Amino acid sequence: MFEWFLPTRTWSTVHGGDGGETGIDDDFARRGFTNVGAWIIGRNMFGPIRGPWPDETWKGWWGEQPPFHVPVFVLTHYPRALLVMEGDTTFHFVSDGIESALAQAREAAGAQDVRIGGGVATIRAYLNAGLIDEMHLAVVPALMGCGEALFYGLNLPELGYHVKETAASKRATHLVLERRSTRGRRE
């Protein structure tokens, strides 16, 4: 699923390396990290633990220095204390809904963008609420099994979305969806 992203120069740079491929995939990867002042992610993207937090030892999939380098707001049903990590990443655990997470992320981001990083349930909730102004999709030639369907039951044109841009590389087809009735903000 991430074969388009892992070889890019952007992936290498975000993880403190140098080198990596340039081209279409790297252009989209770089755009995904440009002008981002805060992230919103779901609990599943933060880690595999379900239900109440058994303790606070789990610090995410990324190790001591996550690749975000800005505040990250994690949607969860179970409160947890603030988690400050190396590299200017602080995880804020938000248990009072998507609107609250977005308000907090906007405040933290200031004039910069808020990136909604996933997973599927998180993106679906923000799409359905009309709170995503622009979205990049990387469609890759891989069979994944049943998983979660990102667009199941969502009528994107009815929600105001259209395809703004497309580009294809040997590893992925990139689509940029835009919401026609934006309210002067970008998520």
What pLDDT, in 10s, does the model give residues 141-180?
888 888 788 999 999 999 999 999 999 999 999 999 999 8
What pLDDT, in 10s, does the model give residues 27-64?
999 998 899 999 999 999 999 988 999 988 889 888 88
For residue 36, CA distances in Å to 47, 159, 162 come to 22, 24, 23
DSSP-assigned letters across all residues of 44-83: HHH-S--SS-S-S----TT-SS-S--SEEEEE-SS----E
The Cα–Cα gap between 172 and 182 comes to 27
Going from N- to C-terminal start, the domains of the chain cover 9-45+65-179
The Cα–Cα gap between 64 and 38 comes to 18
The fold for domain 9-45+65-179 equals: Dihydrofolate Reductase, subunit A (3.40.430)
pTM, entire model: 0.88
